[in-house]
Amino acid sequence: MADPKGFLKHTDRELPQRRPVDLRLTDWREVYTDFSRETLRTQASRCMDCGIPFCHNGCPLGNLVPEWNDLVYRDQWEAGMERLHATNNFPEFTGRLCPAPCEASCVLGINQPAVTIKQVERELIEKAWEDGTVAPVPPSLRTGRRVAVVGSGPAGLAAAQQLTRAGHEVTVFERADRIGGLLRYGIPEFKMEKYVIDRRLAQMTAEGTVFRTGVDVGVDVSVDRLRSEFHAVVLANGSTVGRDLPIGGRDLDGVHQAMEYLPQANRVANGDTVDGQITAAGKHVVIIGGGDTGADCLGTALRQGATEVHQFEIMPRPPVERAASTPWPLYPLMYRVSSAHEEGGDRVFSVNTEEFVGSDGRVTGLRAHEVRMVEGRFERVEGSEFELKAELVLLAMGFVGPERGPLLDGLGVAYGDRGTVARGDDFGAVGVPGVFVAGDAGRGQSLIVWAIAEGRAAAAGVDAYLMGSTELPAPIVPTQVAQR
Ligand SMILES: Cc1cc2nc3c(=O)[nH]c(=O)nc-3n(C[C@H](O)[C@H](O)[C@H](O)COP(=O)(O)OP(=O)(O)OC[C@H]3O[C@@H](n4cnc5c(N)ncnc54)[C@H](O)[C@@H]3O)c2cc1C
Ligand code: SF4
């Protein structure tokens, strides 16, 4: 245990500061300032090394949180890093981007602010990169088995790294021009700068993973070829179909899915030129969807110089404190203020959009009204109708599943109730031997930490399929998610 009295001596939870709003709106860099490692050690000392560490259970990866808190407190960073990498291939992604269900379930959080688990994770991995201790881990033997991973988001990357290290020849196919999935083209630079992906890809390449970009599997490489050239396939193709809003005026110019808008902004932030870029510059913008994707659109629109931004959410505003419906150790329903919300824009709750209006084929505004929840259903609030100027509308209402096209049709996969690819407990696609499913493609729209957990679990399934048994560690993923 770090310091037996740490949680009594240090009752405050300290986190890094965000850069001033005026400053950070002028660039695309990450919003947080550096954090002193001495302060971090003090924060790590708050960990009680609980007999039943609920943080383990809260983390989909089963991260060994109290162990690394103790090692950081004792200044044993390399050992701490080894324990962190034991369960998580990419702590630099989760240390920046995870909503930290581990902290929501931290026992200290019952009557004090939770341990800053995510910050300890982030600093551990960043120090390891600085110290040059994140070295390639090439396999000690080669199995001669070839595995294709389709999709290079966190699920595909985690599966690929595990399988390469187990000695298989792994090729990751990505239809985009760069590797990373939503890490690359969904998540804005101000949440995670892209060098963070690139340095990890260099490690993976040195270990032997092969990356092929610009390859739409099912189109550029046929399913027959995929099956004949590889002994196993991991589908990590994501949940890429955005939920639509089929109301009047949907086809007007200027109404876009968030994932039509964000990738272009990410490209430009990384030096690319995008002809006819969708931009918020000088526009009144309405974002429909109050979640994280909407917040990413907000921060992006503000950096592009939007005149005004509204973010609509149909649900009522959550309570400021943990809602009674989500008691500890559940992930709390509560009002959250992301860095983008701090930067500007108006958040509008309990609102339903009726229609987009426009002239000359371009959107100019929308009509909406307030709603209230009555017995679990939305009811219109009479007399609450309003119009709002909108020259750019971004739909950020979530994703309904993976695309059904030549890849999934060609493989003949089955689908579960949620429109995702059905798989068994070993992550094998139902009815398609040798094909495995990881991440949002099988789970539905989720989180990076779940994608990594699923990538690791699917890799264990593949290894067992190819070799008869496996020693690859696999997090326990609930069976209701690994649906049949
Ligand atoms: C805007 C946005 C912000 C988010 N922010 C966060 C966050 O802050 N924290 C968090 O935890 N989660 C966040 N998420 C969710 C998180 O990004 C996803 O849950 C995660 O990326 C899913 O990983 P994945 O590997 O399953 O799929 P993806 O990351 O979606 O990757 C799938 C990849 O497969 C490729 N592909 C699809 N079909 C083919 C094909 N036929 N051939 C070749 N390649 C193909 C796609 O091009 C894509 O690159 C965010 C999501 C979005 C949309
Ligand atoms: S639940 Fe919180 S206090 Fe307990 S071991 Fe985990 S991080 Fe430490």
Over the stretch 50-99, which tens digit does the pLDDT of each residue have?
999 999 989 999 999 999 999 999 999 999 999 999 999 999 999 999 99
Ligand 2 pocket, mutate which of 46, 50, 59 (most atoms under 8 A from CB): 50
Q: Does some domain include residue 137?
A: no
Mean pLDDT calculated for residue range 224-250: 98
| Per-residue pLDDT tens over the stretch 316-343 | 999 999 999 999 999 999 999 999 999 9
What does pLDDT average to over the chain?
A: 96
Same domain, 361 and 277: yes
The CATH number of residue 477's host domain is: 3.50.50.60
Q: Which of 369, 395, 421 is at the close of a domain?
A: 395
Say what the pLDDT of residue 348 is: 97
Q: How many CB atoms lie within 10 A of CB 258?
A: 24
Say what the pLDDT of residue 292 is: 94
Q: How far is the CA of 337 from the centre of ligand 1 (A)?
A: 23
Which atom of ligand 2 sits closest to the CA of residue 114? 2
Q: Which ligand gives the minimal distance to the CA of 408?
A: 1
Q: How far is the CA of 259 from the centre of ligand 1 (A)?
A: 10
Same domain, 44 and 168: no
Rounded distance between C-alpha atoms, residue 40 and residue 204, angstroms: 29
Q: Does some domain include residue 246?
A: no
| Per-residue pLDDT tens over the stretch 407-455 | 999 999 999 988 999 999 999 999 999 999 999 999 999 999 999 999 9
Q: Does some domain include residue 88?
A: yes
Closest-CA residue to 32 (of 132, 167, 122, 148): 122
Give the β-pairing of 386-389 and 362-374. Answer: antiparallel
Complete DSSP assignment for 381-407: -TT--EEEE-SEEEE---EEE---SHH
DSSP state, residue 376: T
For ligand 2, say whether the CB of 66 is within 6 Å of any of its atoms.
yes
pTM over 0.85: yes
| Per-residue pLDDT tens over the stretch 356-407 | 999 999 999 999 999 999 988 999 999 999 999 999 999 999 999 999 999 9
Q: How far is the CA of 339 from the centre of ligand 1 (A)?
A: 21
Token pair of 348 as six digits = 């509008």
Rounded distance between C-alpha atoms, residue 198 and residue 180, angstroms: 9
Q: How far is the CA of 40 from the centre of ligand 2 (A)?
A: 15
Closest-CA residue to 292 (of 336, 344, 325, 331): 336
Q: Give the pLDDT band (50/70/90) at residue 472.
A: very high
Mean pLDDT calculated for residue range 141-160: 98
Q: Give the pLDDT band (50/70/90) at residue 3.
A: confident
Which atom of ligand 2 sits closest to the CA of residue 105? 1
Rounded distance between C-alpha atoms, residue 280 and residue 300, angstroms: 8
Q: Give the pLDDT band (50/70/90) at residue 479.
A: very low
Q: Determine contact, residues 444/239, Cβ cutoff 8 Å.
A: yes
Say what the pLDDT of residue 2 is: 73
Mean pLDDT calculated for residue range 108-118: 96
Give first-to-last CA distance, the chain, whole Å: 41
Q: Which of 360, 395, 430 is at the close of a domain?
A: 395
Same domain, 153 and 52: no
Q: Which ligand gives the minimal distance to the CA of 13?
A: 2
For ligand 1, say whether the CB of 100 is within 6 Å of any of its atoms.
no
Closest-CA residue to 80 (of 138, 38, 123, 47): 123
Q: Which residue's structure tokens are 């599966």? A: 159
Same domain, 117 and 150: no
Mean pLDDT calculated for residue range 103-122: 96
Same domain, 266 and 179: no
Q: How far is the CA of 100 from the centre of ligand 2 (A)?
A: 13
Same domain, 186 and 233: yes
- My answer on whether omega of the bond before 332 falls inside 30° of 0, hence cis, is no
Q: Look at the chain and report how many structural domains it folds into.
A: 3
Q: How far is the CA of 296 from the centre of ligand 1 (A)?
A: 14
Q: Does some domain include residue 174?
A: yes
Ordered alpha helix ranges (H), 149-194? 154-165, 182-185
Q: How far is the CA of 49 from the centre of ligand 1 (A)?
A: 34
For ligand 2, say whether the CB of 48 is within 6 Å of any of its atoms.
yes
Q: How far is the CA of 409 from the centre of ligand 1 (A)?
A: 20
Q: How many CB atoms lie within 10 A of CB 417?
A: 8
For ligand 1, say whether the CB of 299 is within 6 Å of any of its atoms.
no
For ligand 1, say whether the CB of 204 is within 6 Å of any of its atoms.
no
For ligand 2, say whether the CB of 54 is within 6 Å of any of its atoms.
yes
Q: Give the pLDDT band (50/70/90) at residue 480.
A: very low
Reduced DSSP (H G I as helix, E B as strand, rest coil) percent helix, strand, coil of the chain, to 5:
35, 20, 50
How much of the chain exceeds pLDDT 70, in percent?
A: 99
Which atom of ligand 1 sits closest to the CA of residue 446? 19
Same domain, 391 and 276: yes
For ligand 2, say whether the CB of 299 is within 6 Å of any of its atoms.
no
Q: Does some domain include residue 220?
A: yes
Q: Which of 329, 362, 395 is at the close of a domain?
A: 395
Q: Does some domain include residue 249?
A: no
Q: Does some domain include residue 288?
A: yes
Same domain, 260 and 231: no
Which atom of ligand 2 sits closest to the CA of residue 117? 7
Say what the pLDDT of residue 478 is: 61
The CATH number of residue 111's host domain is: 1.10.1060.10
Closest-CA residue to 340 (of 302, 384, 314, 310): 302
How much of the chain exceeds pLDDT 90, in percent?
A: 95
| Per-residue pLDDT tens over the stretch 252-304 | 999 999 999 999 999 999 999 999 999 999 999 999 999 999 999 999 999 99
DSSP state, residue 195: H
Q: Does some domain include residue 423?
A: yes
Q: Which ligand gives the minimal distance to the CA of 69?
A: 2
Q: Determine contact, residues 320/333, Cβ cutoff 8 Å.
A: no
Say what the pLDDT of residue 455 is: 98
Same domain, 405 and 387: no
For ligand 2, say whether the CB of 55 is within 6 Å of any of its atoms.
yes
For ligand 2, say whether the CB of 49 is within 6 Å of any of its atoms.
yes
Q: Which residues constitute the domain of residue 307? A: 255-395
> What's the gap between Cα 307 and its chain centre?
29
For ligand 1, say whether the CB of 170 is within 6 Å of any of its atoms.
no
Q: How far is the CA of 59 from the centre of ligand 1 (A)?
A: 19
Same domain, 270 and 385: yes
Same domain, 303 and 369: yes
Same domain, 99 and 196: no
Q: How far is the CA of 76 from the centre of ligand 1 (A)?
A: 34
